[in-house]
Amino acid sequence: MGQRVGGAGRLMIQFDSLQEFFAMGGYAANVWSVYAMFALFLAVNLLWPMRRKKQLMKEIKRRQVLNTETAQPDEPDALEMEPLEPLMDSAKSVGEST
């Protein structure tokens, strides 16, 4: 592994080959496993909230349909969406965290 001093006294590490780069000076198992765990962590934290929001929105729509189907014309309170408020707040907070 060759080393050069770059401008302003900074040390620049330069690998002699791509194979040497992937070997990471004998620490490849540690280095690449950390990169893999980070990629998995990042993917889960990006995809899980989107998946959860999609599920919540489906559930809200399903409940709205059921609520309007079971509502009687003489019962205006049956069309109110008060039972869905916690679900809607939860879906909004999931959407804001992404």
pLDDT digits (tens, 9 = 90+) for 12-37: 767 788 888 888 888 999 999 999 99
Q: Which residue has the higher pLDDT, 15 or 8?
A: 15
Strands (E), the chain: 2-5, 11-14
Q: Which residues contact 78 (CB under 8 A, 6 or more apart)?
A: 67, 70, 71, 72
What is the rounded average pLDDT for all residues in the chain? Answer: 78
How far apart CA 64 and CA 54 sit, in angstroms, is 15
User: Mind listing the pLDDT tens digit for each residue in 45-84?
Assistant: 999 999 999 999 999 999 999 988 887 666 555 555 555 5
